[in-house]
Chain A
Amino acid sequence: MPNQDPAERRVVVTGPPRRTRPASGYYRPRTEIDEQTTLGHTYVRSLMRSQLRAAMAVVAVLGLLIGPLPLLFATMPDSDRLEWTVLGFCLYPPLVLLARWYVRRAERNERDFVRLVEDQDR
């Protein structure tokens, strides 16, 4: 059919979009992770470790902040007014700030990890 308009022959193909992957390259962490290789596990482990480190840092700050307070209130004379102020009103802002710091940190860890994996995929 020599004189046919090429536009009529065009066919629309539907289907889930497929991510294009390079055909070559030995270091491909995404595949390594998907396929459960030792190298993939090492990647996951490194992410877990960085997330755990962030969490432990916040726990340490929380422990240092909260831990000594009951002792302080018990040993200090006339600590009642201080106890009212600290426990009633002053502890909540630091708790929220710690949470916000952790979330920012955890999300950055994840972004860094995704970038690491995808950069090497390419």
Chain B
Amino acid sequence: MNENLAVPAVALVVLATVFVGAFGLRISRTTSDFYVASRTVGPRLNAAAISGEYLSAASFLGIAGLVLVQGPDMLWYPVGYTAGYLVLLLFVAAPLRRSGAYTLPDFAEARLASSAVRRLAGAFVVGVGWLYLLPQLQGAGLTLTVLTGAPDWLGGVIVAVVVVAIVAAGGMRSITFVQAFQYWLKLTALLVPALFLVVAWQGDGAPHHAFDEPAAFREQRSVRVDDGLDLRLERPLTVTVSGTVDGRPHEDQQLRLFAGTHRIEAGTQLTFAEGAAVPEAERDGDGGLSPSQAESRGERPLYATYGLILATFLGTMGLPHVVVRFYTSPHGVAARRTTVAVLGLIGAFYLLPPVYGALGRLYAPELTLTGDADAAVLLLPERMIGGLGGDLLGALIAGGAFAAFLSTASGLTMAVAGVLTQDVLPSRGVRHFRLGTLLAMAVPLAASALVGGLPVADAVGLAFAVSASSFCPLLVLGIWWRRLTPQGAAAGMLVGGGSALLAVAATMAGFPGTGALHALLAWPALWSVPLGFLTMILVSLATPSRVPAGTAAILARFHLPEELAGGQVRPEVKA
């Protein structure tokens, strides 16, 4: 990749972000502007902002990389990310807006009149937000390393500084413009190169075997294995080896590997012949920025797929940076229409990563072995088009990838800072909000420096599973069920979210290595979501005397159209 073009592209994105943020700063004056853009964001602007915020690095780079390595099963991720918004629309969007709360903890307190539940929800928001921020920072570091060879902490620090500056300076109003701008930037950065790549693919005679299993090499290709890995062969394979295979050193020797597992040491060079099948690799440590947990998929693919579907479908509604966006709509009807527009925008975007994944299987299949599969999107233009055109397109993609880190990170920082300011710091002024912003970013930045080698990707899956088993029951039952009590809500969040958290933490720590128990723990949503709902319902039913006194009035406010809701609604101006 030509860094002479990629670095200016990244710099341009950062500058444009600051500029658009400064534009918002000029019209951001009050505390309400800060937190919810004074609730005057129209559906179209808000939908672009929500989509821009939602499409993170995992969507921009990770999905194509996952599809490249693990095949079409991984396309369930984008489908789930999109369908999550449909579920959110059905059960949450309009009532959440009408609840009149600023944040998820506000919602919990308004619905259940309990400051204990409020604090618990706040703790989960901060936890999920930090979990989700970590991969964004590490992904930014990875991208900058792939592009320029810069040390891998640098990208994270750049993202952290820019995001803190924008959020602390302009708050929600400024962020709304930044996010909307970045949605279109990301779409362009993926769409334009995709068009050129498809034309190049047509010019190449439109080979179709990308969809065949397993992927095969189209020409003789040498691969350098940077981290040691286990190669699993279904059929015998002939390769030329320089380096160490199965403990024996070779120097430019042709080697016939039998079916089974072979150990390839770090630094080995493998040369595959044209038409050879791409072998499956089991990696020592997974450095990818996409949700992985690949090992368990092989053992329980069907269970894992359903676990993934449930976690993404139900987890979206509880992600703190997604929820906070709905408070910026002027009314419930607008919140609903915004969500439909978001579905359209996200769906349009997700048509592109599969294209990159398929082309990656054709033109860069060796990335599965080098552990840089997430770089597939960045490398394809150079590989397929080459020359100045390829470099320019590669630079465009690099800029888009950085936009992805910036937008998701700023949304998450915004949400976490909101909770910290309201529930942890002593007063609620704008100055304390700025302090909260600093705090919201400092913790994940420190964590990313400390746990450098952790599989960052699992944090994304973990965030979805925890959110699906804690916030999803709280929101759905809080909005639709009259008999929910504070005790039930607290117990449900703790049992559901807590068990999901423990399960994935155990998996990440390497506890039970294989078997059915391992699969159950690596994909907790399938049992932890029902557990969360069940606990919430049973404990609520066991404490019937604790149903908050104003429940009926609150539910009426959630569900009644604004023109009926007790005259508290004024006509509001569109942004």
Contact = CB atoms under 8 A, between A and B. Distances in A.
A44 B72 contact: no
Contacts of B336: 103, 106-107
A87 B83 CA distance: 12
Question: Which of A41, A58, A71, A99 is packed against the most chain B CB atoms within 10 Å?
Answer: A99
Given A48-B480, A55-B91, A88-B354, A33 B564 contact: yes
Interface in B67-84: 71-73, 75-76, 79, 82-83
Interface string A43-78: 010011001100100110010001000110110000
Contact of A33 (B71, B340, B556): B556
B351 A40 contact: no
A117 B85 CA distance: 31
Interface string B334-349: 0011011001100110
Given A59-B90, A92-B351, A117-B564, A44 B552 contact: yes
B interface: dominant SS: helix
Contacts of A100: 340
A47 B350 contact: no
A30 B340 contact: no
Contact of A89 (B82, B85, B91, B351): B351
A59 B314 CA distance: 12
A44 to B, nearest CB: 5
Contacts of B560: 33, 44, 47, 113
B322 to A, nearest CB: 15
Interface stretch (B278-286, B302-310, B372-380, B415-423): B302-310
A30 B564 contact: yes
Interface string A102-122: 110011001101100100000
Contacts of A81: 211
A117 B344 CA distance: 34
Contact of B86 (A52, A87, A95): A95
A26 B136 CA distance: 60
B347 A95 contact: yes
Nearest to A29: B564
Given A87-B79, A114-B561, A55 B90 contact: yes
Interface string B542-575: 0000000000110110011101101000000000
Given A36-B552, A95-B347, A99-B86, A89 B211 contact: no
Question: Which of B71, B358, B480, B561 is packed against the most chain A CB atoms within 10 Å?
Answer: B561
A96 B71 CA distance: 25
B358 to A, nearest CB: 7
Contacts of A102: 89-90
B333 interface: yes
A84 B72 CA distance: 6
A73 B76 CA distance: 12
A49 to B, nearest CB: 10
A31 B347 CA distance: 44
Contact of B302 (A55, A71, A83, A110): A71
B347 A40 contact: no
A37 B263 CA distance: 74
Question: Which of A30, A55, A96 is packed against the most chain B CB atoms within 10 Å?
Answer: A96
A96 B340 contact: yes
B429 interface: no
Contact of B340 (A83, A91, A92, A103): A103
Contacts of A34: 566
Interface in B37-56: none
A51 B563 CA distance: 17
Contacts of A96: 340, 343-344, 347
Interface of B: 71-73, 75-76, 79, 82-83, 85-87, 89-91, 94, 211-213, 301-302, 305-306, 309, 333, 336-337, 339-340, 343-344, 347-348, 350-351, 354-355, 358, 480, 552-553, 555-556, 559-561, 563-564, 566
11 contacts: A33-B560, A62-B86, A84-B211, A88-B72, A88-B351, A92-B82, A98-B86, A99-B86, A99-B340, A107-B336, A113-B560
Given A58-B90, A99-B339, 16 more contacts: A30-B564, A44-B552, A48-B559, A59-B87, A62-B83, A62-B87, A74-B301, A80-B212, A84-B211, A88-B72, A89-B354, A92-B350, A95-B347, A99-B85, A99-B89, A99-B343
